[in-house]
């Protein structure tokens, strides 16, 4: 993902992304949150406190909210679909854990 793409997705200026990547500036907590949400990873992953990215952010929260309103059978179907997609993504990445963009 380019700096411009990430900036647009996170609602930040491309120059800010450049400053963060080069270490000229540290992102504020609000900007860390925007970056984590844009990349669907946890802030801990961005800070290096987690070695592999775990799904986090508004999209994940929305899935859990919807799941609470599903029947047990529909939850099983969703779980099977999620596993199929995760397996496909892992094969496409060659087993390397990287956040989806």
The answer to whether position 62 is within a domain reads: yes
Nearest 5°: the CA angle 44, 45, 46 is 90
Q: For residue 65, is it within any domain?
A: yes
| 53-65: b (≥16 Cβ within 10 Å) or e | beebbeeeeeeee
Q: CB–CB of 10/37 below 8 Å?
A: yes
Domain containing 70 — which CATH number? 1.10.260.40
Report the domain count for the chain.
Answer: 1
User: In this structure, is residue 98 part of a structural domain?
Assistant: no
pLDDT of residue 40: 84
Handedness of CA 9, 10, 14, 18 (dihedral sign): negative
Q: Does residue 81 fall inside a structural domain?
A: yes
Does 14 have pLDDT greater than 90? yes
pLDDT tens digits for range 43-95:
888 988 877 776 666 677 778 788 888 898 988 888 898 889 888 888 887 65
> Could you tell me if residue 50 is inside a domain?
yes
Residue 99 domain-assigned (yes or no) = no
Domain assignment present for residue 25? The answer is yes
Range of the domain at 80: 3-93
């Amino acid at each position: 993902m380019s700096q411009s793409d990430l900036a647009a997705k996170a609602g930040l200026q491309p120059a800010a992304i450049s400053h963060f990547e080069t270490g000229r500036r540290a992102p504020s907590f609000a900007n860390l949150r925007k970056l984590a949400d844009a990349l669907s990873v946890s802030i801990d992953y961005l800070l290096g406190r987690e070695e592999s990215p775990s799904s986090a952010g508004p999209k994940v929260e929305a899935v859990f909210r919807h799941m609470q309103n599903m029947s047990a059978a529909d939850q099983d179907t969703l779980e099977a679909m999620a596993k199929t997609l995760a397996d496909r993504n892992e094969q496409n990445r060659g087993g390397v854990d990287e956040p989806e963009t």
